[in-house]
Amino acid sequence: MRKDYNLEKRKYIIGGIVVTIALIYIIRLFMLQVVDTDYRRHAEGNAFLRKTQYPSRGLIYDREGRLVVYNQPAYDVMMIPREVKDFDTLAFCQAIDITKEEFDTRVARMKDRRYNPGYSSYTPQVLISQMSAEEYGRLQEVLYKFSGIYVQNRIIRQYNYDIAGSLLGNIREVSATDIANDAYYKAGDYTGDLGIEKSYERYLRGEKGVEILLRDARGRIKGEYEDGIYNVAPISGKNLTLSIDAELQAYGEYLMQNKIGAIVAIEPSTGEILALVSAPTYKPSTLVGRERGKNYAKLVSDKYKPLYDRTIMGVYPPGSTFKPTQSLIFLQEGITNLNTLYPCYGGFISGKLKVGCHAHPAPIAMKPALATSCNAYFCYGFKAMLDNRKKYERTDEAFTLWKDYIVSMGYGYKLGIDLPGEKRGFIPNSEYYDKYYSKGRWRALTIISVAIGQGEVLATPLQIANLSATIANRGYYYTPHVVKEIQDTIIDSTYTTPHKTMVDSKHYEDIVEGMRMAVTEGTCRIGEIEGTDLCGKTGTAQNPHGRDHSAFMGFAPRNNPKIAIAVYVENAGFGATYAVPIGSLMIEKYLNDTIATNRKELEKRMATSNTIIYSGVKKH
């Protein structure tokens, strides 16, 4: 037997080669399986189809517990372009009742990143959104024939009271900005747009759930991963209870038809808003479903700007509704007392300057001045305050104090209502006039019109209503808000903390008296409601857009007021012509539920008259 021991050593080389290969492979395995974690992610991306489970959006009730907004199922047809194979376009078009051309446009649009920035051929893309249940039913029967087509359950809003479009807001598909700003959103999600739907989005939307499905290499669903133990159930959005009284809101909209303006009604003891009518208004149901885009565009281009919520965005000269604030400052600062008389013979006259007034007995004291809305009285008072060199060193010092009083009553800054888009109005300060007229070159007479709520002073109807609530409360207000309760959540303390004004509460009683006199014997007589001691103040605001704006601010009953209101009707003339009747009808409706028979005629006249024709818009 020949045995070559030199050659036998080669077994070590051959064994070494085998061991080396195995070692290289073990190292490679270590790199793949332990060091590099990317593969795990890839594997999940491969095999898991994460199907979003959309939560039911929170319902919205009014203050009486009446369901206002609820949900209705809708169906989005989704396409995963990569998984579409052997697609029978004609059969598909037939199933969803669209033409071949329409289908092609939709697919082109879906794939166009300008319209659909999140487009990816690997993920579900919305092909047709918000099909109705009947349409879905037809498609469902043949859905199995179309690979790469899925149906995503969605919800759309339905309205029991088709009112308060700008207050309730609506739902739209998220934009690229939404997705960038909030990780919650994915392309194709819905989010609240305008109104409560927007400001309470976080509560209403709930938590999305996810269903993890296993998808094989051909894209077929092979059931739930681990029998669904990793699925996350969606959590429904929180229900909201509004402070709004749906019937009152509807009534306000009824009265405001064919008018431009706003009604804000507040419960003084809580700051809860009872009605928030912006006119012209629109039905929220027009912004639901597939017609949304078309209808939205129509609203945007409407020359009367129905999307513009005049209650919180409209900034108007408050006119004479501003006068109570002046009375309060004068009393608090001791500029005048209740017996101080000022002359008024056709108005306030000082050299060349004249602020006109209407006929009433003169000289006049504060309460009758409020009742008759005497311009002269407040001009004299304002001048007396700003020119009082014993009390204040300079005019600007006096005016700064004046401004602080006004701000403490809720003017000049946003009140902080729980709705998006509130405007702050405008209350000038000393620096403003220093800049405008240059320092030291202005005095009381230069700016006298602010005393009667004209000139630079601008306020939102909400701020005017808030003044009414403050007076009704004799000196404090709660931040006005439209949501009374959030399901399982304690409402933000900003809405339950009273804000005191700088005026002592004792002075308010006199203002209340003056405002009561306005109804009994002054400018608001048309607003008298039998059995209710309404207090009010008219306003007739001059403005650069045409006829005067008609304004009213008031509350009732005089003691323990239940409702404070501001009504503002653009270009409708005297306060007493439109704003006072509408305001008093609203109060009567709220307090008594019905309108007294003798006032039916008034109600009818208000509802049927058209003041839009006087608006500046009409002219061009």
Partner 1 sequence: MESRNTNIFALIDKPTVVIYLLLVLWGWFSIYAASYNYDGTSIFSLDGRAGKQLLWIGCACIVAFVIMMFDTRLLEAYAYPIYAVTILILILTIFIAPNVKGSHSWIVMGPVSIQPAEFSKFAVALCLARFMSAYNFILKRPENMIRAILIIVVPLLIIILQKETGTALVYLAFVLVLFREGMSGLILLAGIGSITYFILALKYAETYWGITPVGEFFVLLLTNIVLIIMTSSKYNKRGAFRIMLYITLACALVAGITNIFTPVNWAYTLYVAIAINSIYTFILSLKVNSAKLLQPIAVAILSIIFLFSVNYIFNSVLEPHQQARIKVSFGMEDDPRGAGYNVNQSKIAIGSGGFLGKGYLAGTQTKLKYVPEQDTDFIFCTVGEELGFLGSTALLILYTALILRIIYISERQRDAFGRIYGYCVASIFTFHLAINVGMVLGISPVIGIPLPFFSYGGSSLWGFTILLFTLLRIDTSRTGRI
534/588 Cα distance (integer angstroms): 9
Binding mask of the shown chain, residues 187 to 216, with x at each position contacting partner 1 by CB under 8 A: ---------------------------xxx
CB of 123 to partner 1, least distance (A): 17
Confirm or reject binding of residue 38 to partner 1 (CB under 8 A): yes
Confirm or reject binding of residue 122 to partner 1 (CB under 8 A): no
Query: Which CB, 25 or 436, lies closer to partner 1?
Result: 25
560/144 Cα distance (integer angstroms): 66
Going by C-alpha positions, the residue among 587, 569, 538, 575 that lies closest to residue 324 is 538
Query: Which CB, 218 or 303, lies closer to partner 1?
Result: 218
Residue with the two structure tokens 């085998």: 18
Q: For partner 1, which stretch binds (CB under 8 A), given 30-38, 174-182, 356-364, 542-550?
A: 30-38
Query: Which CB, 21 or 596, lies closer to partner 1?
Result: 21
| DSSP letters spanning 343-372 | --SSEEEETTEEEE-----SSB-HHHHHHH
Confirm or reject binding of residue 22 to partner 1 (CB under 8 A): yes
- Residue 477 has φ and ψ, to the nearest 5°, of -145, 155
Element (H, E) at 321: none
Query: Which CB, 16 or 293, lies closer to partner 1?
Result: 16
Count of residues that interact with partner 1, criterion CB under 8 A: 42
Q: Using the 8-state DSSP alphabet, how is residue 288 labeled?
A: S
Confirm or reject binding of residue 39 to partner 1 (CB under 8 A): yes
Q: CA triplet 431, 424, 388: central angle to 5 degrees? A: 40
Q: For partner 1, which stretch binds (CB under 8 A), given 186-194, 218-226, 409-417, 462-470?
A: 218-226
Q: Are 267 and 555 in contact (CB under 8 A)?
A: no
CB atoms within 10 A of CB 598: 8
Confirm or reject binding of residue 2 to partner 1 (CB under 8 A): yes
Residue with the two structure tokens 């405001």: 256
Confirm or reject binding of residue 601 to partner 1 (CB under 8 A): no
Query: Which CB, 226 or 291, lies closer to partner 1?
Result: 226
Out of 5, 7, 301, 361, the only residue in the binding site for partner 1 (CB under 8 A) is 7
247/526 Cα distance (integer angstroms): 24
Position 138, amino acid: R
Q: For partner 1, which stretch binds (CB under 8 A), given 217-225, 297-305, 358-366, 480-488?
A: 217-225
Q: 493: helix, coil or strand?
A: helix
Q: For partner 1, which stretch binds (CB under 8 A), given 41-49, 181-189, 393-401, 597-605?
A: 41-49
CB of 5 to partner 1, least distance (A): 11
Query: Which CB, 178 or 211, lies closer to partner 1?
Result: 211
Confirm or reject binding of residue 354 to partner 1 (CB under 8 A): no
Where does residue 431 rank: exposed (0-12), middle (13-18), buried (19+ CB within 10 A)? Answer: exposed
Q: For partner 1, which stretch binds (CB under 8 A), given 44-52, 92-100, 190-198, 603-611?
A: 44-52
411/321 Cα distance (integer angstroms): 13
Confirm or reject binding of residue 300 to partner 1 (CB under 8 A): no
Going by C-alpha positions, the residue among 371, 44, 394 that lies closest to residue 210 is 44
Confirm or reject binding of residue 17 to partner 1 (CB under 8 A): yes
CB atoms within 10 A of CB 5: 6
Out of 52, 207, 218, 456, the only residue in the binding site for partner 1 (CB under 8 A) is 218
Binding site for partner 1 (CB under 8 A): 1-2, 4, 7-8, 10-11, 13-15, 17-19, 21-22, 24-26, 28-30, 32-34, 36, 38-40, 42-44, 46-48, 214-218, 222-223, 225
